[in-house]
Structure 1
Amino acid sequence: MAQVTLSDVARTAGVSLATASRVLNGSSRVPGKAISQRVMQAAEKLGYVPNASAQALARSSSGLLGVVIQDLEDPYFSAVAAGFQEAAGGQGQLVLMAQTSRDADLTIVALGGLNAQRVDGVLMVGSLDLSAEQRAVFGDQLARVEARGGQVVTVGQSYGIGRTVYPADREGGRAIGQAAIAGGYRRFALLDDVTRAPSAVDRAAGFAAAIEESGGRIEYDVPAPVTAAGGRVAGDALVRHLEEHPGGPMCFFAMTDAVAVAAMGRALHAGIRVPDELGVVGFDGIAAGRDIAPSLTTFDLPLRDIGRRAFELVHHPEDADLPETWEVREDTITIPGRLWQGGSTMH
């Protein structure tokens, strides 16, 4: 059976193709009520299914929102995305989601695809070490969203477009360092993020500052990416380091909870006692950190709430309901966190 076309509907209703398109594809230039009813009745009679792309072009809006995250396996990203999706679903909004594996070029491709779908707004979660050329392309793609009247919200990094939500990365890193010192640790290790993501750089800087202020130093920089796989690599490296350099207990700042959980698992399997020989600290506050034994010391962020509030900023920014504790300055929003003391460190 041949597919019913818009031309078939126009012919049956006795109207022009342009008139049928205006009625069925959501244009703001809709003809009179009688003609509209005639077109709708013809479409129903023929079983016509509107073309979503044509509807988007007609009204310069798709009814879709885009979310770009770097790693769906990492609970940090999935929790923020889940909060956004839940809030969008409550408002009847559909979400197109892209995972880009922490790859800047794949992120550019994803943004281009979302623009091709004419999304009404975009949320980008995570930070990347970008060249000047890549940053310019990011800005251009996001500017296209704004040019259609859409909103852009980024979490963790600004591209000069829209509003940016910043977790308190440097402050959190400092709080973690101070907690490690208070717990009695005098030897420290730090994940050396090989991807140089700006958020990881800030967390490391805060931690290092707290250690240096106490008169201590970072004994071991562990090179690995900020991923669960990187955490396993880091865990094995820490085990070797402790075996080759015996001494007092060491505290490892893993930069994210996903890295911390993986590293701690490798250490425990190797017979390292946590927290007595090795303390492990994460950052994010993912649910898995509470479920493991020992539970994970971390800097806790309201991840799902970040996603929910980000939806408000994308969908109805003028009426977005942000917590009083969130510091709002023009196009930047800083989110506080809190130290959560688990059993993975001495205290």
Structure 2
Amino acid sequence: MSSLVEVARAAGVSVSTASRVLTGSSHPISAKTRARVIAVAEQLGYSPSALARALVSRNSRLLGVLVSDIVNPYFSVIARGVDDVASRAGYVTMLSNVDRRTATEINRVQTMRDYRAAGMIFAGSGYIDDPQAPELAKAVRQAQEQGIKVVSLTVRELGCPTITADSRTAAYDITDHLVSLGHRRIAFIEGPAGMIASQQRRDGFLACMRDADLAETAECHPGGFDYEAGHAATMRLIARPPLPDAILAANDEAAVGALSALRQAGIDVPGQISVAGMDDFRVAQFVGLTTVSLPLYEMGAMAARHIIDAPPGADNATTTVLSHRVIPRETTAWRSTGSTHP
């Protein structure tokens, strides 16, 4: 396939003139010159790139998804929902890892502006009292003024539509399930410190324990959203007996880490202690983990549909909350209130 330079040389015009003709620019060019450039391009088999067309038309079919951790299955499920909808509509999905850094998010917003993206989806949570939050909100506003549609999948002050699940209520409901099984001493392994999503899940756990008159037996332990964090937190619990009746981790990966630590220590799950998580990743199904299923795929799919279908200037204040459900599996069992652990 020939290059733009070769087309321009064969047509006897400048590269800029050839580019204007082949990308549909409204710049005034004579009909004769336009026809000659098109004929040469067809003869040489030249086709302008999608990016080149986007830079001229100020529009593209690129949809950017900003994720906190590209290897976390939470985001892979969301990304699949986005891409399934986007690809059917002729859009291309670009996944961008921001490592839970607001500065990186600001940089990625500028990148999406440079690429004339059709839309951006913020899939990850922000931080409580983030000093860079106003700068990020300003960058988002500038992108919107350029015509880029923006959607957030967590509650953040970004001035854009939000499509999310209620993490606080989900944590409340999975805790309530553990309480309904007779568990009274429940340990909660928290998510990453300072994150809004971590705080929401911790708040839901504590609210349920208060409502069940179990606030005095509620335990919160530092952790994270990965296997290693759940494993380390549980090893610390094992080293300081007695064990709680149940462990609830802030997500499934950390819960699997907790499950692994207990089994390595020869502690029977769920005979001696129950374990539960949140999100319902595929790994939860493989190990029989009790969890609460969040509509991650649906969140991604709905966000993509909004970007593709919503009219320009749509209400940016809307919040859509999708439902969740508790999924009981083999890692939890009923326990009488009088039970004790060695």
Partner of 1:338: 325
Change (3 A) 1:129 1:330: closer
Partner of residue 87 from structure 2, selected from 86, 89, 114: 89
Please name the residue that 1:101 is paired with.
Answer: 99
Q: Tell me, yes or no, if structure 1 residue 303 matches structure 2 residue 296.
A: yes
Aligned 8 A contact 1:71 1:100 in 2: yes
What TM-score does the superposition give when structure 2 sets the normalisation length? 0.86
User: 1:261 matched to which residue of 2?
Assistant: 256
Unaligned 5+ runs, structure 1: 320-327
1:291 has 2:286 as partner:
yes
C-alpha distance in structure 2 between counterparts of 1:283 and 1:29, whole Å? 55
8 A Cα contact 1:222 1:237, kept in partner: no
The answer to whether the aligner puts 1:172 opposite 2:170 as a matched pair is: yes
C-alpha distance 30-78 of structure 1, shift in aligned 2 (>3 A) = farther
Q: CA RMSD in A?
A: 2.7
For 1:265-276, list aligned pairs within 5 A.
265-276=260-271
Superposed CA offset, 1:224-266 (max 9, x none): 22222212222222322xxx3226x521121111211122112
What is the CA-CA distance between 1:337 and the residue it aligns to? 0.4
Distance 1:177 1:132, change over 3 A: closer
Higher mean alpha-carbon deviation, 73-82 vs 28-37, is at 28-37
Q: TM-score, normalised by structure 1?
A: 0.85
Query: Aligned pair 1:216/2:214, yes or no?
Result: yes
Which consecutive residues of structure 2, in runs of 5 or more, have no partner in the other structure? 335-342
Letter in 2 for 1:246: P
Distance 1:118 1:332, change over 3 A: same
Take 2:28 and 2:323, find their aligned partners in 1: how far apart are those partners?
Answer: 48
Between the aligned partners of 1:29 and 1:161, the Cα distance in structure 2 is 35
> How many angstroms apart in 1 are the aligned matches of 2:316 and 2:214?
35
Which residue in 1 is equivalent to 2:339?
Answer: none
- Tell me whether 1:313 sits opposite 2:300 in the alignment: no
Share of identical aligned residues, percent? 28
Name the count of aligned residue pairs: 331
Indicate the residue corresponding to 2:53 in structure 1: 55
Question: 1:121, CA displacement in angstroms?
Answer: 0.5
Residue 191 of structure 2 contacts residue 223 of structure 2 at CA under 8 Å; is this kept in 1?
yes
d(CA) in 1 for partners of 2:10, 2:291:
66
Partner of 1:235: 234
Match of 2:112 in 1: 114
1:18-33 superposed matches below 5 A: 19-27=17-25
